[in-house]
Amino acid sequence: MMSSFLKGRRHFTRILSTNPKFPPKLSAISSPSLESNQNPCALLPHIQNPSRVLQVCVFSTQFPEYEMPSVTWGVVQGRKEKLVSRVIICDYLKSLGIVTDELESLELPSTVEVMRERVEFLQRLGLSIDDINEYPLMLGCSVRKNLIPVLGYLEKIGIQKSKLGEFVKNYPQVLHASVVVELVPVVKFLRGLDVEKEDIGYVLLKYPEILGFKLEGTMSTSVAYLVSIGVNPRDIGPMVTQYPYFLGMRVGTVIKPLVDYLVSLGLPKKILARVLEKRAYILGYDLEETVKPNVECLKSFGIRREALASVIAQYPQIIGLPLKAKLSSQQYFFNLKLKIDPEGFAQVMEKMPQIVSLSQNVIIKPVEFFLGRGIPSPDVAKMVVKCPQLLALRADRMKNSYYFFKTEMGRPLQELVEFPEYFTYSLESRIKPRYHRLQSEGIRTSLNWFLNCSDQRFEERLRGDYIETERLGPSFCMGGKLELPGSEIVSDEEEESDNEVLYRRTVSL
């Protein structure tokens, strides 16, 4: 080791004595002083231009592959040089329109060339000067140490190169992150929640701030609480993909108060868990500013308190809508065009709350269809109040069902007024097969008797194994397969718990 040091000092001496660019006073330094135990760096104060010496000085060892790199004054600057460089760089940034006020405490590069490289890199990424001014601290990120590694990793996990600029605009703090220490663990956490690999980029684009969360903090707590109220752990991944923002919500101040309030309205936790699995965005509704006012609004329009749970289960989005304006508009329309009074409108809302978001052009078509078939306006109003699902049916489906009713069955229109649910059943899979069975058996019954039951119960009725008094079932489950956009097929089973009945009534637009 000592031998290597002495060789280095001799090399230092040769450079000083042979370089013609050094002044005479420098070259006159005698080599014996270097041969002594004196540290060669002690000579630097006597050198007129020490930066020149440091630029060319290379300390060699006996192993060439371990040669130490050149030490340049561009990296090791004195206080004065740093201040001068900062002023020059700030002037350059100001000439581009960048506000430098927030850069006072930021360590800037040593040269304008390095800063220009950073600015041009960010601009090629798609950021404007205004974007940089929104978060000027990004100018403290090295292109090679920060920008390229971070952006390369983001592209690797599924964020398209064309969207990297948008991502950085939305969350510029990511440029300061360590790929290994901060980014990789978050991505692994999301994968552990069953978020599909191809959905990771989509999730991060929707909610980039998630990359800055602590794994053992809010995210884990939110997931644990939702699972505790009945959310299936396998559904957490799809929930994150649909609405990742709930991972950043505090349980004690946001999620739990909302859950507790909905449960207090009569919505069982089991049903609420099923609702959240498919409508995770409900967790984003503000309890005090949106949810509670909307519930009070429903009450003010005649919705009974005991029906609130059913209304929310059927159409969860209703607690997040600008509800008062929508209800006022629809109630007026029903009264004016359909001759349905506010009390009847409240009944319609309890049975099919999606009405509040249904276009009035869609609503009026079934009404005109019935009026055109000679059914009086008061009777049409009764049909709608009894079975609001009529208002969401397609005209061609209604025409086919009506034609079969008139030509094949030959029944009076009054039966349709009494049992408007007839139009909600499939003509090919239920009405025709069951009617033909009755014809072959020589049985004549009401529409309700042979349509409003499961296949098993229908067979029992035909055999006489099941005796019951004829009664109308609840209108919300008539038809079983109401074809609304995004609706779910409703089961025909008749014996089930109150919670299951409530869940069956969930028909979402």
Distance CA 122, CA 118 (A): 6
Distance CA 192, CA 247 (A): 14
Whether the CA torsion 379, 381, 385, 390 is positive or negative: it is: positive
Q: How confident is the model at residue 289 (pLDDT cuts 50, 70, 90)?
A: very high
202-238 residue pLDDT tens: 999 999 999 998 888 888 999 999 999 999 999 999 9
pLDDT at 86: 86
Question: Would you say 227 and 269 are in contact if contact means Cβ atoms under 8 Å apart?
Answer: no
Question: Would you say 454 and 494 are in contact if contact means Cβ atoms under 8 Å apart?
Answer: yes
Distance CA 256, CA 215 (A): 20
> Considering only 224-228, 259-263, 296-300, 464-468, which range has the smallest mean pLDDT?
464-468
Question: Would you say 357 and 313 are in contact if contact means Cβ atoms under 8 Å apart?
Answer: no
Q: 480 or 152, which is more confident?
A: 152
Mean pLDDT of 262-283: 96
* Helices marked H in 96-173: 112-125, 129-134, 148-156, 164-170
Mean pLDDT of 20-32: 41
pLDDT at 504: 44
Tokens 């965005």 correspond to 281
pLDDT at 67: 39
Mean pLDDT (the chain) is 82
Q: 5 or 182, which is more confident?
A: 182
What does DSSP assign to residue 213? S
Question: Would you say 486 and 508 are in contact if contact means Cβ atoms under 8 Å apart?
Answer: yes
Distance CA 156, CA 163 (A): 13
Q: 49 or 351, which is more confident?
A: 351
pLDDT at 109: 87
Q: Kindly tell me if the per-residue pLDDT of 34 is higher than 60.
A: no
Q: How confident is the model at residue 317 (pLDDT cuts 50, 70, 90)?
A: very high
